[in-house]
Amino acid sequence: MLNSLIVDVMANICTNKLYLSTKDKQLCDNLIESMMDLFYCSDVQPFENNDVFQYEMEFDSNWTFPHKKMEEMTKNLPEDNDLYIRVLSYEFGCEYVGFNIYSGGEWCDKFADK
């Protein structure tokens, strides 16, 4: 007789490759800190080019691009910011691919727009 049933649910891990750029160093640093608090991040590469602060990094999420978390992180930013973010996401087990861009204060799913 089965007295108890233990079920483990394992999420497929989605890899997200992010590029971020802005002229506002404080905004850039705050966003990277938030990303590192929310996700497991690796290969974090900061660089500066002509007073534009940029990062490239990789982070993990469950199954797909974490749209709600990314919207939450960017929803209260000043409207006049020059922030640009692009994220290429993939998860081979589910055959998922996503490409999302933040620009002009809003997120756009480039594959859904096609």
Q: Where are the domains of the chain?
A: 13-109
CA–CA separation, 91 and 31 (whole Å): 24
- Give the pLDDT band of residue 78 (cuts 50, 70, 90): confident
Q: What is the pTM of this model?
A: 0.85
- 2 — pLDDT class (breaks 50, 70, 90): low
Question: Tokens 């691009």 identify what position?
Answer: 65
6-65 residue pLDDT tens:
655 667 899 999 999 999 999 999 999 999 999 999 999 998 888 899 999 999 999 999
pLDDT for residue 39: 93
Between 51 and 4, name the one with better pLDDT. 51
* Residues 88-107 pLDDT 10s: 999 998 899 999 999 999 99
CATH topology of domain 13-109: Alpha-Beta Plaits (3.30.70)
Euclidean distance between the first and the last CA atom of the chain, given in angstroms as a whole number: 54
Dihedral sign of CA atoms 110, 44, 84, 64 in order: positive
